[in-house]
Amino acid sequence: MTTVHNLGFPRIGARRELKFALEAYWKGESSRDALKATGAALRQRHWQQQSGLDLVPVGDFSFYDQVLDTSVMVGNLPQRVRGFQGDPLDNYFRVARGRSVQSDAEHTACCGVAAGEMTKWFDTNYHYIVPEFSADSAFTLDASRLLEQLAEARAQGVQAKPVIVGPVTYLAIGKAKDSSDKLALLPALLAVYSQLLDTLAEQGVEWVQIDEPILVTELDTDWQHAFNLAYHQLKACRIKILIATYFGQLQENLYLAANLPVAGLHLDAINGHDDIRPLLNLLPDHKVLSLGVINGRNIWKTDLSRVLDWLEPLAERLGERLWIAPSCSLLHVPVDLDSEQRLDAEIRSWLAFALQKLDELRLLARALRDGRDAVKAELAANAADLAARRASPRVHDPAVREAVAAIDANLGRRHSAYPQRADEQAALLQLPAYPTTTIGSFPQTGEIRQARSAYRAGTLDDAGYRSAMRAEIARSVREQEALGLDVLVHGEAERNDMVEYFGEQLEGYAFSQFGWVQSYGSRCVKPPILFGDIRRPRAMTVEWIRYAQSLTVKPMKGMLTGPVTMLNWSFVRDDQPRAVSCRQLALAIRAEVLDLEQAGVRVIQIDEAALREGLPLRRAEWRAYLDWAVDAFRIAANGVRDRTQIHTHMCYSEFNDIMETIAAMDADVITIETSRSDMELLDAFDDFNYPNQIGPGVYDIHSPNIPTREHIVQLMRKAAERIPPQRLWVNPDCGLKTRQWAEVLPALRNMVAAAHTLRQAA
C-alpha cells in the first residue's frame, strides 16, 4: 500500500480569515483570545479537508512565519526582545513586524523594536523572518506551540505528522550578526532538536517531517559534514525521521541525502525528476522514498496518466516503501478551486488548487492500489481537460510569436551611455542633492477599497469610479507637495495589485476571485494566471499618470511592473519556456513605456521586485536565467530617449551576489531595500563600483514603527561611505499601500527632513 501524505497546507484561510484576524488584533480591534480562536478554527478545518490522507502535517500552521516559529521553538530570539514580560505571542509579533499591536491604550505590550530582517524563502515569493545568530547564541526548547497543535489534531482523530524546519537549513538561512561561524552553533542546536524529537516520541508520534530544502543547493564540505553530524546525532532519538527536500534537484548531494541515518527521504519529483533513477540505486532497502508527484507551486492540473506511467513501476519495485505527496508544501497555491464562481469556465477546467491537488493524490493512490481501470473515468476526464488546453486557440497568438522572433540586440540598448544620459536628465529635472521620492503606492484606504468593490459589483458606474480615484490621486499629490518630496508618484489608488492590475489589461491572463496566497504575515497576493501568449491591446496607465502630472509642476513618475516580476509573481503556463513568456511581457511593457514618454512623462519606474527570487537555487544555473531576465528588462526599458529617466525597484532579497547583473540592467536609478538589514546590502559596494544612481531604502514600510530623522541620516551617511553622495537618492524601501496615512506622513516628513540635513552638510 502506497502511503499518501502532505507536506504542508495553506494557513491564511480560503477567504483570508487569518489575515483579517491578525490585522484586527494588531489594530487593537480584537482580543488575543479571538485571534487564537481563529487560528484553532482554521487548523480544525484544514485537517478536516485533508482527511483521507494517511499522514497529515501538524505544525505547518503559523501566525506569521514557520521560520520565526522555529526561532521561538529553539529559544533563539534577538537580544532586543529578551526579557519581555507580556504574552509570548506579542513578543513574537515584535520580532515579525517591530510591534505587537498599534494601540497603546488597548494593550500594554506593544513597545516597538527593530523588526527582524525579512527575505525570500528560497526561490519563492514567500518571505521569512531571518534567524539571527552570534558567537554566544544559546538555545532552549519551547515546544509548546507544536505540542498544543498536536493535541488538537489528535482530538480531531488526525493521523498527525509533525513538521519542523531542519537544523542545518535553519542555520544556513540565518545570519551571524557578529561575523562568527554559524556552524559552530550546530552542536548546541542539535541538543535542543534531540530534546524535541524525544518529547514527540514520548507523545507517541511515529513520524516527524524535517524540512531540509538546503540540500537542493550547492553545499561545501563543511555543510555536507554538518548534515552527517546532525543526523548521526538525531538517529538516537526514538522516532522515525522523514527528511523533506524540495524546490530543486539533489544532484551531487544525492549520495549524502540517500545515506543519512533516517527512516525516509522526500524528493521533489517535479523539479528533481532526474534524481529518481540514481537515487533508487543509492537508497538503502529499509528506507521510505517519498516522491512529490503533484506540483505544489503551480495551479495546472497534473497529467495523471503520464505520472502513472513512471510511478507504477516504482510502486511495484518499492511496495510499501513508496510514499506520494505534493512536491512541496501547498502554502504556495490557493486553497480551493471550487469556490471560484467568476473564473472563466474553460480556463477553470485546466486548474487545480490545494484541495484539488490532494484529490489528484488520492486518485493516484487508488490507481496504484486498485489499477487504472478503477479510476478509468477520472483519468479520461483529466486527459480531456489537458487536451482541450493544448488545442485552445486562446493559448496561441501567431502575431505575438512573430514579434518575439523579431527581437534583436538593438531593442535592449539605450542611445547613449549613462554619464551622457545623466547630464541630460539633470538639466531637465533640476533635482537637488539627495533627491527624495517614494516607491509608488500610497495607503489603500477604506474609501478606495469601498469604491473598487462597488465598481466591481456594478453599484458604482465608470464615471463615479474614475472620479473617486482621481480624488485619491489628487490627495496623494497634495500630501507629497506639502511634504516637499522632489519626484512624486500618483499613489496607485486605482490599482489592486502591482501584477494583477496590469495582467487584467493584457490578453493571455486570467484572474481568480479567491486565489489568495500568503506572501508574508497577513500580506496576501492573488497571482494572475498566465495561460497564453501576451498582448497589450491598449495603453494601461497613461490616462492616470497624465492626470497626476497635470496637478503639479514637479516630476511625476510613471509606474509600471517589469516583465520579470510579472512573470515570477504569476502562475505561469508550463507549456513553453519561461524565458519566452518573459519576452512577450517585455514587449507589452515596452509599448507602455513608449506611450508614457510620448505623453510627456519624464521619469518612468519599472519595478523588478522579483528579479532575485527567480534566480535558480544552484549557481551553475544562474547565468542562463540572468541573461534572459536582464534582456527582458532592457527590452522593456530601453526604447526611450536619453533625457527620460528610467528607475527600477527591488526589495527583500539578497542582492549582493548579483550586483554586476543589476548594473547590467542599466537603469538610471535603482531603489532597493536596505533598512531591515541595516544597510548590509551596501557591503557589496566595497568591491563593486555601481555606476548609476541608487536609493537605498531608509524606511521599513513593513513595520508600523516610524523612523526618526536622525536614524535616516545615519543610514544615508553609511551609504555615502560607499557611493558618491551625488548619486544617492532618499526613499522608503517599498511601496506604502499597506500602511495608514497616520503612519506614512510623519515617516516621510522625517525622511524629507533628513534629506535637508544631508544637503546642508554636503
- pLDDT for 685: 73
Q: Count of CB atoms within 10 A of residue 340's CB?
A: 19
Per-residue confidence (pLDDT) for residue 83, from 0 to 100: 85
Q: How far apart are CA 246 and CA 290, in angstroms?
A: 11
Strands (E) in 548-691, as ranges, are: 557-561, 571-572, 603-607, 645-650, 669-672
- Report how far apart, in Å, the C-alpha atoms of 357 and of each of 15, 50, 292, 326, 731 are: 19, 11, 11, 8, 42
Per-residue pLDDT of 666-703, as tens digits, reads: 999 999 877 666 666 677 777 778 899 999 888 888 78
What average pLDDT does this structure show over 238-254?
97
Q: What is the pLDDT of residues 294-305, one digit of tens each?
A: 999 999 999 999
| Alpha carbon distance 422, 416 (integer Å) | 10
Report pLDDT for 102: 66
pLDDT in tens, 112-169: 788 999 988 999 999 999 999 999 999 999 999 999 999 999 999 999 999 999 999 9
Flag whether the pTM goes above 0.85.
yes
pLDDT of residue 518: 97
Contacts of 55 (CB under 8 A, 6+ apart): 3, 4, 5, 6, 159, 160, 161, 207
pLDDT attached to residue 746: 95
Q: Provide CB contacts within 8 A for 251, sequence distance 6+.
A: 216, 275, 618
pLDDT at 169: 98
Pick the catalytic residue: 5, 127, 647, 702? 702
The pLDDT of 573-594, averaged and rounded, is 97
CA proximity to 656, closest of 621, 624, 628, 615? 615
DSSP string for 475-506:
HHHHHHHHHT-SSB--B-TT-S-TTHHHHTTS
Q: What is the pLDDT at residue 674?
A: 75
- Give residue 652's pLDDT: 56
Whether the pLDDT of residue 194 is over 90: the answer is yes
- Looking at residue 704, its pLDDT comes to 83
pLDDT score recorded for residue 406: 96
For residue 612, the model assigns a pLDDT of 86
Annotated binding site for L-homocysteine: which residue ranges?
Answer: 439-441, 492, 607
Give counts: helices (H), strands (E), the chain.
Answer: 26, 22
Of 204-218, 574-588, 607-621, minimum mean pLDDT range: 607-621
Which domains does the chain show, CATH number per domain? 3-100+118-390 (3.20.20.210), 418-761 (3.20.20.210)
Q: CB count, 10 Å around CB of 255?
A: 12
* pLDDT reported for residue 246: 98
| Known binding-site residue numbers for 5-methyltetrahydropteroyltri-L-glutamate | 16-19, 120, 125, 523-524, 569, 613
Strand partners for 292? 268, 325
**C-alpha cell belonging to residue 174:** 540565518
pLDDT in tens, 474-517: 999 999 999 999 999 999 999 988 899 999 999 999 999 999 99
Q: Taking a C-beta distance cutoff of 8 angstroms, is the pair 369, 335 a contact?
A: no
**Rounded CA gap, 725 and 719, in Å?**
8
Whole-number pLDDT of residue 108: 42
- Name, in order, each residue with C-beta under 8 angstroms of 620's C-beta and a sequence gap of 6 or more: 218
Judge whether residue 84 has pLDDT over 50. Answer: yes
Mean pLDDT for 183-187 is 98
Question: Would you state the cell numbers that stand for residue 18, as one nine-digit string?
Answer: 487569518
**How much of the chain exceeds pLDDT 70, in percent?**
97
Yes or no: say if 630 and 582 are a contact pair by the CB < 8 Å rule: no
Least confident range from 255-264, 593-602, 656-665, 752-761: namely: 656-665
State mean pLDDT over 410-424.
95
Indicate the range of 82-86, 251-255, 387-391, 392-396 predicted with least confidence. Answer: 82-86
Q: How far apart are the first and last CA of the chain?
A: 74
At 395, the pLDDT band (50, 70, 90 cuts) reads very high
Helix (H, G, I), strand (E, B) or coil at 248: coil
pLDDT of residue 729: 96
Question: 5 forms bridges with which residues in the sheet?
Answer: 55
Q: Say whether pLDDT at 111 is over 90.
A: no
Query: What is the Cα–Cα distance from 363 to 279, expressed in whole angstroms?
Result: 25
- Residue 76's contacts (CB-CB under 8 Å, 6 or more residues apart) are 131, 132, 133, 137, 139
In the prediction, which pLDDT does 657 show? 77
Mean pLDDT of the chain: 94
To the query of whether residue 702 is one of the catalytic residues in this protein, the response is yes
Q: Are 287 and 339 in contact (CB under 8 A)?
A: no
What would you report as the CA-atom Rg of the chain, rounded to the nearest whole angstrom? 26
Can you give the pLDDT at residue 654? 63
Residue 218: its pLDDT value, please? Answer: 97
- Chain CA centroid to CA 539, Å: 28
Query: Which DSSP symbol is given to 236?
Result: T
Annotated binding site for Zn(2+): 649, 651, 673, 734
Of the pLDDT bands very low, low, confident and very high (cuts 50, 70, 90), residue 12 is very high
Q: Which residues carry a binding-site annotation?
A: 16-19, 120, 125, 439-441, 492, 523-524, 569, 607, 613, 649, 651, 673, 734
How many whole angstroms separate alpha carbon 646 and alpha carbon 739? 26
- CA gap 430, 67 in Å, rounded: 46
Report d(CA 67, CA 92) in Å as an integer: 12
Q: Is 690 helix (H, G, I), strand (E, B) or coil?
A: coil
Query: Which residues make beta-bridge pairs with 647?
Result: 605, 669
Bridge pairing between strands 240-244 and 523-525: unpaired
Q: What is the pLDDT of residues 541-571, one digit of tens each?
A: 999 999 999 999 999 999 999 999 999 999 9
Give pLDDT, residue 58: 98
pLDDT at 109: 44
Q: Is the pLDDT of residue 407 over 90?
A: yes
